[in-house]
Amino acid sequence: MNRRTVKRAALITTAVLAVGAAAGYVYLDATADVQRTGAAACTDVIPAGAERADGEAVCATLDALTAAWGRGDADAYGRQFTEDATYTTYVGTHYEGRSDITEGHRALFEDFVKGSKLAASYLDMRFPAKDVALLTGRGDDYTGGKPSAAELSKVQTYTLVRGTDGSWRIAAFHNTRRQNAMERLSFLYSPATAPEAER
């Protein structure tokens, strides 16, 4: 075989592999539907046995956070966090303290997420201690039509604490972007890795 034939065969092989990989990714992404999309209302996940008023107060904090985002109000957004809160975005940005969170969001509201709103569904709320709440849900920011619960691309965890004034504020927030194709591949390769709710 001459050099030209070898190059041509290598290019064709590379193209076929690339098309196959792309088709595989599209298939995995298209078949990676979430089974457990969560509850539409935060109050729907208040656990049995918990003080209803505490659960409602936690939800009110999330409602205030969502409303502040929708108005692009960084100061009101920041007030939902404790002074020493941490905030980790899905791209890995880590804010430390209310001031850092507020100023970071002031810039975001003026640029990247200007005019957007938040959509959420709620998976779980727990009270591991009297003045601590853990809330997990799915979420996204959007403009235009509100996405369905199945379309929300992030999984979010809020740790809230009750202050001495009785108000609940967010002490830590972690936002993880769902990797549809990788999750589906993992479940296909090793079905036992799928959470019970996704089987």
Q: In the prediction, which pLDDT does 83 show?
A: 97
Q: In the prediction, which pLDDT does 37 show?
A: 85
Which long-range contacts (C-beta less than 8 Å, at least 24 apart) are formed by 39-42?
39/121, 39/122, 39/123, 40/121, 40/122, 40/149, 41/122, 42/120, 42/122, 42/125, 42/135, 42/137
**3-class DSSP assignment, residue 95:** strand
> pLDDT tens, 56-68?
999 999 999 999 9
Interval 154-179 mean pLDDT: 94
Say what the pTM is. 0.80
Q: Which of 1-5, 30-34, 97-101, 138-142 has the lowest mean pLDDT?
A: 30-34
> pLDDT tens, 9-26?
777 888 777 777 676 666
Q: Classify residue 135 by its DSSP letter.
A: E
Q: Which helix (H) or strand (E) holds 4?
A: helix 3-30
Of residues 46 and 12, the one with the higher pLDDT is 46
Q: In the prediction, which pLDDT does 1 show?
A: 66
Interval 171-188 mean pLDDT: 77
Q: Which of 5-9, 100-104, 117-121 has the lowest mean pLDDT?
A: 5-9
* Residue 28 pLDDT class (50, 70, 90 cuts): low
Q: In the prediction, which pLDDT does 25 show?
A: 61
* CA pair distance 111, 22, nearest whole angstrom: 32
Token readout for 67 is: 């409303």
Interval 104-133 mean pLDDT: 96
Which residues have CB under 8 Å from 54's CB, separation 6+? 127, 133, 162, 168
